[in-house]
Each structure stands twice: as C-alpha cells, then as structure tokens.
A and B are shown apart, each in its own frame.
Chain A
C-alpha cells in the first residue's frame, strides 16, 4: 500500500512540475495545488498506514479498547488543507485581478515591477502574443 501511495505521490509531483514549468500563471497555480496535495499525501503515508479503529474513546471508558489509527497526521493534513485552500483562493483571485489589470497571464510579459533595462517594454510590448493568454486561460 505504501508503495502504491509513494508512486501516486511521485506521479502527482511529476504532473505538478510539468504544469509549473508553464509560462501561464494560471497553470502554474494549478500545478502548485497538485503539489500541495502530494505533500499532504506524503504526510499521510509518513504517518504509517494501519487498519485500525478511529481514535475515539468509547462512552464510559477511560481509553479506547482496540487498536486505533494515528490521528496526528490527519490533524496535520487537515490543517494543511485548510491553509492550502485559503492560499489557493487568494492566489486565484490575485491572478484573476492581475489578468484584468495587466491584460496577460504570461509570466514573461509581466514586467511592470521590473521593467527591461531598454525602457518601454512592459506588457504592451508583447501585443503580438497577447491573444495567447485569454485562450489558454479559458481552456
């Protein structure tokens, strides 16, 4: 089981790196979400996979009677998922706002904060490639 999960984690990381290599910021964000999910799976696997009861103390007893699962990795993952969700929502709306304001999703064309030494450049300089961005955003 561990092997299968390890392979899945590897596959997810490979996919996410492929996505993150894209110049399109939206794809990059999707890659990042995959990556954070694979990190969560890593924690899950690292917490050992056992067949056991949920870690609940039965009513009236001071401690659980049967072998219970390790609750810590799940607590960690839950926290990480929540944080990841918040960050993803934030970065999605940031990218969307940036797309509306800057008119591009191509990370190479985002030069407003760091203009090329030559001068004007910036986002307008790449008019020819402009139509690329909206289409890939829609797909």
Chain B
C-alpha cells in the first residue's frame, strides 16, 4: 500500500508495539498478559509494517525467516519442558531460580516458565507472520 501517512506512522507504531509486546510478555508473569498475547501484539506491529512498506521490506527488517523464528521458539518451549526432567521433576514442572534471594528476600525470580513463555512468544510471532507474508505475497 502506498500511503505517506501510513508509511510515516508505522515507523513509530512498530517500535511502540514491539516495546509494548515485550511489556505484555513480562507482565504475564503474575498478571494478565503473557507470551501468547505479547506475540500477537508484536505480530500485529510487524504486519502493519508489511502493509505499509511491502512484505519484501518487512522480511528484510525481520532478518530471519519467520518460520525459523517459530521453530526456534518451539525449541525453547521444549527446552523449558525438558529442564524439569533434569531437575528430577515431571515434564513441564516449573523450575525456579531466585537470583540474589536470601533471608526474607525473594530476589529476582528466573524460571523455566518464563523460558516457555518466550518460546510461545516467538512461535506466535513466527507463525502469524509466516501466514501473513504468504497471504500478502500471493494476493
């Protein structure tokens, strides 16, 4: 689509939406949000970019093949599931690490749940964009 307004606006909007999507991803830890919705927001942002600048430009901006992004995300999610077995628990049990935690201090919690969520985030971005690009290319 060749529209100056859209072109100019998407540059700012894409950055904002990508930022917001990371915020959603991390917020999902304890409140509504998470990898799925974050991934959707990011995918919408990049889709907007693809509409404004064309898929070729969007693919270039993305650098990686969207399907490869989805695959890497899937691998991360599986890794999160397998980490539990290494810790001696059933598959998919959350593994927690409290960095700097001590007496009464919770510290910074890092968990395999977060890793799983990041995996979901990437899978959603990758697969949605793969579909969108394929449809855009075809029509």
Q: SS class of chain B's interface: helix, strand, loop or mixed?
A: helix
Complex interface: chain B residues within 8 A of A93 (CB) = 131, 134-135, 138
- As a 0/1 sequence over residues 121 to 132 of chain B, the CB contacts with chain A under 8 angstroms (1 = contact) are 000000100010
- A59–B106 alpha-carbon span in the complex (Å): 14
Name the residue of chain B whose CB is nearest to the CB of A92: B135
On whether the beta carbons of B139 and A96 are closer than 8 Å, the reply is yes
- A97–B135 alpha-carbon span in the complex (Å): 10
Complex interface: chain B residues within 8 A of A59 (CB) = 30
- A89–B134 alpha-carbon span in the complex (Å): 10
CB proximity of B67 to chain A, nearest CB, Å:
13
On whether the beta carbons of B135 and A89 are closer than 8 Å, the reply is yes
Q: SS class of chain A's interface: helix, strand, loop or mixed?
A: helix
Chain B, range 65-85, C-beta contacts under 8 Å to A: none
Chain B, range 81-139, C-beta contacts under 8 Å to A: 127, 131, 134-135, 138-139
- A54–B32 alpha-carbon span in the complex (Å): 10
- A78–B36 alpha-carbon span in the complex (Å): 10
- The answer to whether the Cβ of A76 comes within 8 Å of any Cβ in the partner chain is no
- The answer to whether the Cβ of A86 comes within 8 Å of any Cβ in the partner chain is yes
CB proximity of B19 to chain A, nearest CB, Å:
24
- The answer to whether the Cβ of A56 comes within 8 Å of any Cβ in the partner chain is yes
- As a 0/1 sequence over residues 52 to 89 of chain A, the CB contacts with chain B under 8 angstroms (1 = contact) are 00101001000000000000000000100010001001
- A136–B12 alpha-carbon span in the complex (Å): 39
Pick 7 A–B contacts, CB within 8 A, sort by A. A56-B32, A59-B30, A89-B135, A90-B131, A93-B134, A93-B135, A96-B139
Residue ranges of B at the interface with A (Cβ–Cβ < 8 Å): 30-32, 36, 127, 131, 134-135, 138-139
Residue ranges of A at the interface with B (Cβ–Cβ < 8 Å): 54, 56, 59, 78, 82, 86, 89-90, 92-93, 96-97
